[in-house]
Structures are given as C-alpha cells and as structure tokens.
Structure 1
Amino acid sequence: MAAQAWSPLRCYWLEAKHELLRLMRTPSFVLPTLLFPAVFYLLFAVLLAGSSGKGAAHYLLAGYGVFGIMGAALFGFGVTVASERERGLLRLKRALPMPQGAYLLAKMVTAMVFAVLISLILAALAVAFADIALSPRQWMLLLLVNVAGVLPFCALGLYIGSRVNASAAPAVVNLLYLPMGFLSGLWLPLQLLPDAIGWLAPVWPSYHLGELAQKVVGGGAGSPAWMHLGVLMVFTGVFFVLARARLARCD
C-alpha cells in the first residue's frame, strides 16, 4: 500500500531527475545557457562600465539575470518540446502509466534549476568583480524573482514547441529571445533607447519581469510590483492554455 501511495511522487521525481540529467549532458544547451549571461555581465558591467560604476553593475545584475533565465526556459521548452513532438515522444508519454503532468513539471523544474545556477553565478561575479553588496533579503528576493520568472517563458516556449517543427524551433526562439532582451531594457536602460522602444516595452513579458528584478536591487520605473506580477500571471495562463489546446490536437 505504501509503495502504491508513493508511486506517483516517484514518477514525478524520476521524470524531473532524468530531464535535468539529459540537459546537463547536452553541452550545446548547458554552455550557452550558463555562460552567456556571465560573460555579458563581466564584459558590460565590469570591464566596460566606466564611470557608471556600481549603478550599471546593479542594473545589469538584474537585467542579465532575467535574460539568462529567459534562455533556459525558452530553449528548454521551445526546442525540446518541438523535437520530442516530432519524434513521437509525446505520444509515447501519453501511453505510459505516468501522471499526466509529470512531463511538463519535469521541464519546469529543470528550467528552475538552471535559473538558480544562473543566479548564483551572476551573484558570485557581482560580489567578486563589481563589489556589489546587497542585503540577504535582496539576494533571496532576486533569486525568487528569477526562479519564479521562468514560468511565463516556459509557457511561451511550450507554445512555440507545440506549433513549429524541430528544425525551425531554434530559429523562432532566437527571433524572440534576443529582441525581447534588448527591447525590454534588459541590456540598456530604456531611457537610453529611442522613445518608441520605451512605449512598446510593456508589451514584452521580459520587461515586466525585469522591472520586478530592478525593484529588488533598488531600481525600476516606479510602476507597482503587483501590476507587473499580474501581467506575468495572465501571460503565463494564456500561453499555457493555448499550448495545451494545441498539444491536445497533435497526433
């Protein structure tokens, strides 16, 4: 009886464990996901910050944290779901005696683990090279924003994976990932960009997550946190529903 009661939990655990191990053993995913935010932070916040000093280091700590977790979620969902759907793995998963949500939960947990790793790497670089000193509460809140912040991009990545084939998925993800990072003010403050970009920035989920992260480190545009949180929750719900409907129609 005990073994039967715990078997669903074991299914969730094993699915998440093997999904994480699979991606950890994929250098083409691990290296860009973990190294790009770190390299960009060292380059722009430490080496090229110039007179901006700690102001730029604080801003880019929040910005590149969001940029990094976006990549982990979008590529972890968009590319892998498209590939697994095309190879028939989703049909196989449906036929197996496993909880229906284990597949998606495993991918979400994996994205969150990568969000933790990206956050820790950036925090270590910020302390060691940019002399950043946040309070323990700020560090924990920044970690929370990054870890929970993968969910909107998991939803978007899932929708992409449900719509495009495996060969097109990386291109589609890149077409969204890189422009969103720039147009949301994650790389440069929106005040330094053309006014049109600033007006359109609230369209992107990355802008709202970036504003939450900036508020943690002492920045942000002044809009209330609940507004950004609400937009992200609606965005997440809409794209999960759209992706679920699309996947339900897939053979």
Structure 2
Amino acid sequence: MNPAYLALEIKRIVRSPQFALFTIGMPLAMFLLFGGIFGAQEIAPGISTATVTMVNMAAYGAMTAALFTGTRVATERTDGWQRTLRLTPLRAPGYLMVKVAAGLFVALPVLLVIFAAGMIRGIRLETGQWLTIFGTLWLGTLPFAVLGLMIGLFGKGDTVQAVTGALMLPLGMFGGLWIPLQVLPGWMNTAGHLMPTYWLGEIGRAPVLGGSGTVTAVGVLAAWLVVPALVVMARFRLDTARL
C-alpha cells in the first residue's frame, strides 16, 4: 500500500464539504436532538438513553464515512483515472487497499467528535469502556468501507452518491441505530437482524449494556466483509481487463 497515495486520498475526502455535513454534522445533530429529548431516561442501572444514543450515532457516522469513500471510485472510473493509474507503479491490490484504508481513517474524526460531544453532555464511562467502544466501532466499519468500494465499482459517477445516500436510510433505520428494533413491526425487526448496522451497533453497545451476542455480531460482520470483498476483486479484475 502506497502511504503517499493514502495520505492524498484522505485529504481529498476530508476537504469535501459533503464529508463534514453528512458524515459528521448529521449524526452529531441527531445525537444532540435525541440525546436531549430522551437522554435522562435510564435503560439499565447507571446507563442512560443518551449513552446508547451516543454509541448508535457514532456507529452511524463511522459507517457513513466509510461507505461514502466508494463514491470517489465511481468518479475515477468515469473520468478514466483508473486507466491512468495503470501507467504508474501502483498495482490493483494497492489501489483497493488504499481505498479501504481511507474509509477506515476518515471514520476516526467522526467517532472522536461524537464521543467528545457525549463527554460535554455529561456522559461518564470508565476509560476501558471508552476505548473498547471506540476500537470496536472503528474496526467494525471495515465491512462498510468494502461495501462502499463495491458500490463504487458498479455505479456511475453521477449516480453513485445518490445510491449510497439511499442505502444509508434502511441501514440506519432497520439497523436499529435510529429507532430501537423493539418498537418496529415484526417483519422489520427480522429484517433488521440481517443488516450489518444492527451488529455494528451491538458490538458498540456491548461494553455498556453487556450481552452474549458479541461473537455472533463479529461473525455476521465478517460475512459482510468477505462477500463484498470477493465481489470487489472480481469486478476490479473485469474492469482492468477492459481498459
């Protein structure tokens, strides 16, 4: 993986106005709104609704940041940038690894901002809990970075952002990050357990709520990582063969 190209890719993403608006501004606003309305309610001994809302919105924001990195891939395909890269020492695996790594790195400021807002609003957790939530959510965004890359390889430059934005709605709603699955109809609850966002939220909430589903969550997220990764490699080989 080329560090210089990775640094360039990260700079291109974070300098985009859409990055600050959709990946940081939206989940932050939702946390402040819902945390302010329902934050005082206690859902477990010593655990308020605001704490769970913070974790959910951090998961949603990190997922969004990782997912949207794929939109640049579609633009590069349309503009012929991938064809240009074939003339450089950068090989196909390095190109794909840079895109995925960029998705992970741009999720970091989202998590930091949401957690900082939670601390300012009075959320208090043990140091180990903060670090565990941060680490699991960050690593848990890896499947979404690969999923965004897959969308970018199949989409077109002028439509992929709309497709990605439309995908964020069911991922957030049916994944239990916006609304608890318990209040949704039965079929929606069932569908929610198929969403990777549900399991991302599960591993993020586990350090504060406990539970025995962490192994299952890791397994489901791993499946959401492996399958899109295989599709990405097959699609990219097909694209480069056409160039």
TM-score, length-normalised on structure 1?
A: 0.88
| Cα 1:50–1:162 shift into 2, 3 Å | closer
| Cα 1:111–1:169 shift into 2, 3 Å | same
Q: Distance in 1 between matches of 2:39 and 2:77?
A: 48
Alignment correspondent of 1:178 = 169
Given candidates 186, 196, 218, the residue that maps to 2:187 is 196
| Cα 1:227–1:50 shift into 2, 3 Å | closer
User: How far 1:19 moved relative to its partner?
Assistant: 0.5
User: How far 1:199 moved relative to its partner?
Assistant: 1.4
Contact kept? 2:104, 2:145, Cα under 8 Å: no
Deviations 1:198-227 (A, max 9, x none): 1111111111111111112225xx442111
Contact kept? 2:10, 2:106, Cα under 8 Å: no
Alignment correspondent of 1:165 = 156
Q: Distance in 2 between matches of 1:91 and 1:147?
A: 32
User: How far 1:140 moved relative to its partner?
Assistant: 0.8
Alignment correspondent of 2:33 = 43
Structure 2's unaligned 5+ residue stretches are none
Please show how residues 222-237 of structure 1 align to structure 2 within 5 Å. 222-237=211-226
Contact kept? 1:201, 1:207, Cα under 8 Å: yes
Given candidates 60, 73, 79, the residue that maps to 2:53 is 60
Q: Distance in 2 between matches of 1:123 and 1:147?
A: 13
Given candidates 174, 178, 187, the residue that maps to 2:178 is 187
Deviations 1:172-217 (A, max 9, x none): 1122111110001101211122222111111111111111111122
Alignment correspondent of 2:85 = 93
Which moved further from structure 2: 96-105 or 194-203?
A: 96-105
User: How far 1:14 moved relative to its partner?
Assistant: 0.1
Structure 1's unaligned 5+ residue stretches are 1-10
Contact kept? 1:155, 1:239, Cα under 8 Å: yes
Deviations 1:73-99 (A, max 9, x none): 11112x111111111111222331124
Q: Secondary structure at the match of 1:96?
A: coil
Q: Distance in 2 between matches of 1:189 and 1:208?
A: 13
1:34 counterpart = 2:6: no
Q: Distance in 1 between matches of 2:19 and 2:9?
A: 13
Contact kept? 1:12, 1:99, Cα under 8 Å: no
Contact kept? 1:65, 1:119, Cα under 8 Å: yes
1:19 counterpart = 2:32: no
Deviations 1:97-133 (A, max 9, x none): 124433223223322222221111111111111x211
Q: Identity over the aligned pairs, expressed in percent?
A: 32
Q: CA RMSD in A?
A: 1.7
Q: Letter of the aligned partner of 1:20 in structure 2?
A: I
